[in-house]
Structures are given as C-alpha cells and as structure tokens.
Copies of this chain bind each other. A is one copy, B any other.
C-alpha cells in the first residue's frame, strides 16, 4: 500500500507532479491511475510543444514584421531617392544646356571681339595716318626759351630762325605760315625744358625744303644758341619709331646689319 498512491494524492504535491513521479512510482500505480496519468502526460506534451511553437511563430512573425516594415521604409526612401535623383538629373540636363548656350554665346562674342578688334586696329591706323597727314606740313622748333614770343609773337621767331640760318631761302616759305604756336598750350611746371614751337606751313614742299636745309647745315641756332628743327609726327608714329629704333639698336648690338630704316607701310 505504501507504493500504491493515487493521482489525487500526487496532485496534492504540486502542479506538475508527473515529472516528479519516478519510474518505480509509475510502475506501482494502479491501472486506472496509470491510464489517467498517460492521458494527462499526452495532453501536457501536446500543450507544451504547441505553446513553444506558438511562441516561436510569434517571435519570428514579429521579427519578419519588423523587417518588412523596415523594408517598406527603405523602399520609400529609395523611391524618394530615385525621384530626387531624377530631379537632379533634370537640373543637370538644364544646367548643361544653359552652359552650352553660354559657350555658344562666348564663341559669338569672341568672333565679334575679333572683328571689332580688327576694326579698332583699322581705326587706330586710320587715326594715326590722319594725324600724320594733318601734321605733315608742320615743323617743330625745339629749344627756344619760353617767353621769347611774348613781345614779337611766335611767327616772328620762326621768321628770325629762317633769316639767321637760311638767309638765301625765298620769302615764299615765310608767307605760307598757317599757324605758329607753343605746344602744349599749358606749361607743365614739372618739366624745365621750354615747350616746342609748332609751325604749320601751307605747302609740304616748303617744310621739306626747310628740314633738308637744316640737315645740311647740321647746326641750327636761334640768337646764336643751338636749337633743333624737326618734322611733326603723331604720338602713335613716334611710339612706333621708338620701338623700331629699339629693335634696330638690339640688332646692331648683335652685329646684324638691318637693311630697312623703317618698317614698310
């Protein structure tokens, strides 16, 4: 009787008494109790495994659900990115077209620039020729002290220079003076050399005759003091001549024998 206990007695011990029943106890159970125990154990195993399975399912389903949510979120981000990238590509496309138009405009501007550059150069040359043309009947007298003209006038100084240096020259040249004046009009206080006197003659021949005579005489004077008579050139021609002289001097320094005295025009 000691070993023959009822299930009821065993249940009083705890909630899961089955596992605690030893094999000996189970072997000593009455047939009826053994059968009830079997049914109970069968049910317990089923419940326990099903619960475990439900738990697993729940856990994994939750994980999968999270993954899917995250995936959806990422998919939305990707869609946004695709749209954003498409918009960026459109902007790039538009920017490229604008750049192309700008580049085309630059080519046009460069063409127009070159044409205008050429015209500007033509105008500058034309101006230089005009100035040379305007100045070609002029003689510059360099070295006559300032103030000499105050009493007798500038024209008279020129007449005196002709009389002093070229006494045999005809009177004609002297009556053909269109203009006689100091240049520039204002005295520059920072320069201590007298301003030039500019004589405009009517005939180019007269100018050439006087300058030729001056070159032959070598020393031209005004009241005994050396002065210089020179042709009058535009600022641009003087600049070109200076540059050309620099080149000639460099060539001479290198023992080259330049043939041209001035560049052909």
Interface residues of A (CB under 8 A from B): 23, 26-27, 31-32, 34-36, 38-39, 41-42, 45-46, 48-50, 52-53, 56-57, 60-61, 63-64, 67-68, 70-71, 74-75, 77-78, 81-82, 84-85, 88-89, 91-92, 95-96, 98-99, 102-103, 105-106, 109-110, 112-113, 116-117, 119-120, 123-124, 126-127, 130-131, 133-134, 137, 155, 177-179, 185-186, 202-205, 264-265
**Docked complex Cα distance between A91 and B113 (Å):** 30
Contact (Cβ within 8 A) A77 B85: no
Given pairs A45-B45, A81-B82, A106-B106, 8 additional interface contacts (CB within 8 A): A45-B46, A81-B81, A95-B96, A116-B117, A120-B123, A134-B134, A155-B205, A178-B203
User: Closest CB of chain B to A90's CB: distance in Å?
Assistant: 10
Asked whether, in the complex, the Cβ of A23 is within 8 Å of the Cβ of B50, the reply is: no
Q: Contact: B74 with A85, CB < 8 Å?
A: no
B residues in contact with A123, CB < 8 Å: 120, 123-124, 127
Evaluate contact between B116 and A119: CB separation under 8 angstroms. Answer: no
Find out whether the CB atom of B64 lies under 8 angstroms from the CB atom of A36: no
Closest chain B residue to A105, Cβ basis: B106
Known: A56-B57, A74-B71, A103-B102. A178 touches B96 (CB 8 A): no
Quick check: A81 and B85 within 8 Å, CB to CB? yes
Contacts of A204 in B (CB 8 A): 178-179
A56: which B residues are within 8 A, CB to CB? Answer: 53, 56-57
Across-interface contacts of A109 in B (CB, < 8 A): 106, 109-110, 113
Bound-state Cα–Cα, A131 to B123, Å = 12
Contact: B99 with A92, CB < 8 Å? no
Closest 6 pairs between A and B when the two form their complex, measured CB to CB? A179-B204, A98-B99, A63-B64, A91-B92, A126-B127, A45-B46
Docked CA distance A131–B81 (Å):
70
Asked if A203 and B179 make an inter-chain contact with CB atoms under 8 angstroms apart, the answer reads yes
CA distance A50 to B52 in the complex (A): 9
C-alpha spacing A130/B26, complex, angstroms: 138
Q: Are B64 and A53 in contact (CB under 8 A)?
A: no
Cα–Cα distance between A82 and B80 once the two chains are bound (Å): 10
Q: CA–CA, A60 to B232, complex, Å?
A: 106
Cα A101 to Cα B211 in complex, Å, equals: 57
Output the least CB separation between A54 and chain B (Å): 9
Instruction: For A36, list chain B residues within 8 Å (CB).
Output: 23, 27
A258 to B119, CA, bound (A): 32
